[in-house]
Amino acid sequence: MTEPAALKLKDMLKKPEILTSGHRMCAGCAAPTIVKLMGMALRGPTIVCEVTGCLEVATTIYPYTAWKLPWIHVAFENAAAVASGVIEAVDVMREKGRWSKEHVDVIAIGGDGGTFDIGFGAISGMLERGHDIVYMCYDNGAYQNTGIQRSGGTFPGQETTTSWAGKVSPGKEQRKKPLAEIVAAHRTPYVATVNPYHHRDFITKFRKALEVEGPAFIHAFSPCPRGWRSQTGKSMELAKLAMEVGLHPLYEIFNGTEYKMSGPSRRLKELRPLDDYWKTQGQFKHLFKPEWADFKKSLQEQVNDDWEILKKKCGIE
Amino acid sequence: MTAVKRIPKDQIAIEGLTGDAAIAHALKQCDLDVLAAYPITPQTIIVEDYQKFAANGEVHCRVIPVESEHSAMSACIGASAVGARVATASASAGLALMWEILYCAASMRMPIIFTVANRALSGPINIHNDWSDTYGARDSGFIQIYTQSCQEAYDTTIMAFKIAEDHKVLLPIMVCIDGFILSHNVERVEMLPTKAVENFLGVREPFIKLDPDNPITMGPLALTDYYFEFKEQQERAMEAVPEVFAQVETDFEKMTGRRYGMFEEYRTDDAEIIIFTHSTPGGTAKATVDVLREKGEKVGVLRLRMFRPFPTKEIVEVVKNAKAVIVFEKCRSFGAPSNPLALELRTALYDLEKRPMVVDFVIGLGGRDCPPTTIVEGYEKTKEYLKKGKAPLYETMGVRK
Amino acid sequence: MSEKYNEIPMAGNIIEPGNATKYKTGGWRAQRPIHTDETCLWVKNGTCGLCWIYCPDNSVKLIEKDGKYIYEFDLEYCKGCGICANQCPTDSIRMENE
């Protein structure tokens, strides 16, 4: 029997926790909340495969684990491949009468480094082969675990320890990889962007991802106070703000073709200016220097354009 | 498991098979749950043949046609972690791409069977045989067994599952054949009835697994306070291998009449000079020794099978009274005082008061042919060195210089 | 931490799920949350719960007992991030220096 997703507070309070206290994620990190919300969507027996990264390291420092689900980590770039092995093995052993559970959900989790960059080949392979796996990327915008280095998920204008803002550089100059759409281009049955602030949207989408046959992808925006130089208490607010400025709009893509803007993004009358987002974080403060005024302007135009393109894809005039 | 009995001759299927095909047939009979592999010459036939068995419904296994060897070994770990019987195959660059995950497979104690058609590493890119690929992985924590014939490759692949899955061991195994020389060479292979193989192996009983009813954490972060202890566990598991290996071979022998040992001794009893090598050069050396023996030379062959764990004591017993041991190995450890196989042997012999001279020849890199004349040349040189009482730490043979 | 190699499970497997609760992270805290029952929607009528939903350390305890709604912090684990205070719609939580 599948358990319902918990969307109302009373139901959420009853749902078993999957990640306990005592983990060593930084204060204010949004990733544990993301995992908690994932837990609210679960429908029964689940196995988690994780890549190397903040969440992996800080939740399983031997001899302690914060995980209450069967959980495996092998390496940085291979959770999608490990998960492929898990799901196929479970399925075949069930056929052979060596696996008693009727159904097991397999979830792979990776950060932006493990997903956008080093693990991308494995993810693409997993999608192409069509395993019934939910892959969730918690995207905190850089290799935060190794000390805030730029990744394919880093925003332009963001300062990291490998994309310094200096006299001649405004931080990262390149675009962020459009990962959700790249994943969708595999004709993946279900792709959704989420953030932990909009928790009901998150849980609803994660549940859809579990229920869809074949692979599904969840791109979760995950504020990182340590790396972003933001206030620890502001993480949920920043997740919302990133949606409001258009840096992490909320939408779904079905079968790679059908786009649907999600409520919080759909209800925006217009995007808030990027300045509102940038001023909350030390990693963007250099952008307010006069020498980067033009660069800043170009980034705003880029986001405006992306927003219009996305709206068009979603059928919004 | 029911008691193992000798399989009657009329139940044995005899076919001419390449080394790759022999391994594919063995894998077919081992009731795999998951095979995850990526094509690479000269291993590819293993995967192709196995895929054909799968396409015809002859195996009940999920084949995962992964997008890289790195993912092949990763998928094997995932499958093994939930308790499945798992295999993969690769060679050379593919094995090199798996590198990181080889260590994970061994340290996470996943009994994965990895059949390797030994091939030179780039560059320049080369598809032919030498042992640089698996020698490089000698410290990965895999058990390594090198085979000389298609029959031996078939037999060893079957036995490997029983060794790896034994709870005293729980380590992955590389079963190695020489690329092209064996992988693509047709030999007569006796194949057991599938039922007998299934009976011999039984179903894998995982020691521990990922299980929603008993949710453990696998592959955590272990730092200065615990990491070392897990390495000690791995070493102890390696130490347990010879005993389990011998038991498995005994059972296999009851069924087939064949056993191979951790190494093969050939005319070593009174040998003054012993040739130490493995894989197909082992066969060449034995044939050469027969000719040399006819000429009255006191020479024998110690053909190694198990490189990891290295049967140190047993090898010392065999060679300690010889005047010289000639190592023929298909790998150069650049910048090292000698090469992997000779380094092992010299270490094993160092504590003896009276040691045989060790002469190390690097041969056959990138598939350069190693005919009997190579063996004879090494033998003659060794006799010269014995006369002089001194040999170089190693030398290359067969290269133009 | 004094266990020998043969006194710990194989391969680093952690066989006790969620045993991280033995590791108390409350000591990391520079600020502690202070809660006011008067304006809290949970205490009032068992609703809201945003602080509980968002807390990354499961340090908000929403308790229902004998028809009453009780609010507590678990300061053994609370790292003092202040997300609860920041997200509270009725300003029922404030942060105070330790």
* pLDDT tens readout for residues A52-72: 999 999 999 999 999 999 999
Per residue in C71-81, pLDDT tens?
A: 999 999 999 99
Per residue in A260-284, pLDDT tens?
A: 999 999 999 999 999 999 999 999 9
Using alpha carbons, select from B76, B64, B112, B73 the residue that is nearest to residue B95. Answer: B73
The backbone torsions φ and ψ at residue A190, rounded to the nearest 5 degrees and listed phi first, read -145, 130
Choosing from B223, B256, B289, the residue where a domain stops is: B256
End-to-end CA distance of chain C: 31
Choosing from B225, B256, B287, the residue where a domain stops is: B256
Please tell me which of the candidates C17, C54, C82 has its beta carbon nearest to residue A68: C17
Same domain, yes or no: B132 and B207: yes
In this structure, is residue B99 part of a structural domain?
Answer: yes
pLDDT for residue B2: 55
The backbone torsions φ and ψ at residue B144, rounded to the nearest 5 degrees and listed phi first, read -125, 125
Strand ranges inside chain A, DSSP E: 46-50, 71-73, 105-111, 133-139, 190-194, 216-221, 251-254, 258-261
Place of tokens 């994932």: A38
SS3 A132: coil
Topology given in CATH for the domain delimited by A9-313: Rossmann fold (3.40.50)
Same domain, yes or no: B251 and B273: no
Strands C31-35 and C93-97: antiparallel
Write the DSSP assignment of B363-374 as a string of letters: --GGG----HHH
Query: The tokens of A73 are what?
Result: 């980590």
In this structure, is residue B3 part of a structural domain?
Answer: no
Strands B187-191 and B13-17: antiparallel
Q: Give the pLDDT mean for C16-43.
A: 98
Number of compact structural domains in chain C: 1
In this structure, is residue C73 part of a structural domain?
Answer: yes
What part of A 193-232 touches C (C-beta under 8 Å)?
196-197, 199, 225, 231-232
User: Which residues of chain A are within 8 Å of residue B221 when distances are taken between CB atoms?
Assistant: 56-57, 60-62
State how far the Cα of A73 lies from the Cα of B226, in Å rounded to an integer.
17
Number of compact structural domains in chain B: 2
Strands B113-118 and B86-90: parallel
Closest-CA distance, B215 to chain A, in angstroms, reads 4
Query: The tokens of A159 are what?
Result: 């300062």
Query: The tokens of A129 are what?
Result: 């082969």
Closest-CA distance, A286 to chain C, in angstroms, reads 25
Adjacent-strand bridge partners of A99: none
Place of tokens 């005919």: B371
What part of A 41-70 touches B (C-beta under 8 Å)?
45-47, 49, 56-57, 60-63, 65, 67-70
pLDDT for residue A52: 98
Residue B80, domain extent:
9-256
CB A60 within 8 A of CB A51: no
Number of residues that this document lists for chain A: 317
CB B276 within 8 A of CB B359: no
- A45 alpha carbon, distance to own chain's centre: 22
Same domain, yes or no: B194 and B60: yes
In this structure, is residue B285 part of a structural domain?
Answer: yes
In this structure, is residue B163 part of a structural domain?
Answer: yes
Same domain, yes or no: B246 and B358: no
ipTM surpassing 0.85: yes
In this structure, is residue B1 part of a structural domain?
Answer: no
Burial tier of B54 (Cβ tally within 10 Å: 0-12, 13-18, 19+):
middle
Adjacent-strand bridge partners of B308: B144
The enclosing domain of C61 has a CATH number of 3.30.70.20
Query: The tokens of A220 are what?
Result: 């979760």
State how far the Cα of B252 lies from the Cα of B201, in Å rounded to an integer.
10
* Contact criterion met (CB < 8 Å) for C14 and B216: yes
Give every CB contact of residue B228 below 8 A, 6+ residues apart in sequence. none
Strand ranges inside B37-82, DSSP E: 62-64
Q: Is the pLDDT of residue A147 over 80?
A: yes
User: Which residues of chain C are within 8 Å of residue A63 when distances are taken between CB atoms?
Assistant: 8, 14, 19
- What is each CA distance from B295 to B286, B312, C31, in whole angstroms? 14, 31, 90
Give the pLDDT of chain B (401 residues) as one tens digit per residue.
557 789 999 999 999 999 999 999 999 999 999 999 999 999 999 999 999 999 999 999 999 999 999 999 999 999 999 999 999 999 999 999 999 999 999 999 999 999 999 999 999 999 999 999 999 999 999 999 999 999 999 999 999 999 999 999 999 999 999 999 999 999 999 999 999 999 999 999 999 999 999 999 999 999 999 999 999 999 999 999 999 999 999 999 999 999 999 999 999 999 999 999 999 999 999 999 999 999 999 999 999 999 999 999 999 999 999 999 999 999 999 999 999 999 999 999 999 999 999 999 999 999 999 999 999 999 999 999 999 999 999 999 999 99
The enclosing domain of B35 has a CATH number of 3.40.50.970
Same domain, yes or no: B233 and B271: no
Query: The tokens of A30 are what?
Result: 């949004």
Using alpha carbons, select from A197, A191, A196 the residue that is nearest to residue A219. Answer: A191
In this structure, is residue B212 part of a structural domain?
Answer: yes
Choosing from B237, B256, B275, the residue where a domain stops is: B256
Q: Is the pLDDT of residue A227 over 90?
A: yes
> To the nearest 5 percent, what fractions of chain C are helix, strand and coil?
30, 25, 50
- What is each CA distance from A224 to A175, B186, B188, C84, in whole angstroms? 20, 60, 63, 16
> What residue ranges do the domains of chain A occupy?
9-313
* Contact criterion met (CB < 8 Å) for B78 and A85: yes
Residue C81, domain extent:
39-98
Write the DSSP assignment of B301-318 as a string of letters: EEEE-EEES--HHHHHHH
* Contact criterion met (CB < 8 Å) for B230 and C11: yes
Q: How many helices (H) and strands (E) does chain B have?
A: 14, 16
State how far the Cα of C83 lies from the Cα of A236, in Å rounded to an integer.
7
A146 vs B: CB within 8 A: no
Same domain, yes or no: B122 and B196: yes
B382 residue type, one letter? T
Same domain, yes or no: B222 and B283: no
End-to-end CA distance of chain A: 42
* Contact criterion met (CB < 8 Å) for C58 and A233: no
The backbone torsions φ and ψ at residue B189, rounded to the nearest 5 degrees and listed phi first, read -130, 130
Query: The tokens of A135 are what?
Result: 């892959």
In this structure, is residue B2 part of a structural domain?
Answer: no
Same domain, yes or no: B161 and B65: yes
Closest-CA distance, A298 to chain C, in angstroms, reads 32
State how far the Cα of B97 lies from the Cα of A126, in Å rounded to an integer.
18
Adjacent-strand bridge partners of A109: A50, A136
State how far the Cα of B307 lies from the Cα of B327, in Å rounded to an integer.
14
In this structure, is residue B170 part of a structural domain?
Answer: yes
In this structure, is residue C57 part of a structural domain?
Answer: yes
Same domain, yes or no: B45 and B178: yes
pLDDT for residue A1: 61
State how far the Cα of B94 lies from the Cα of C98, in Å rounded to an integer.
56
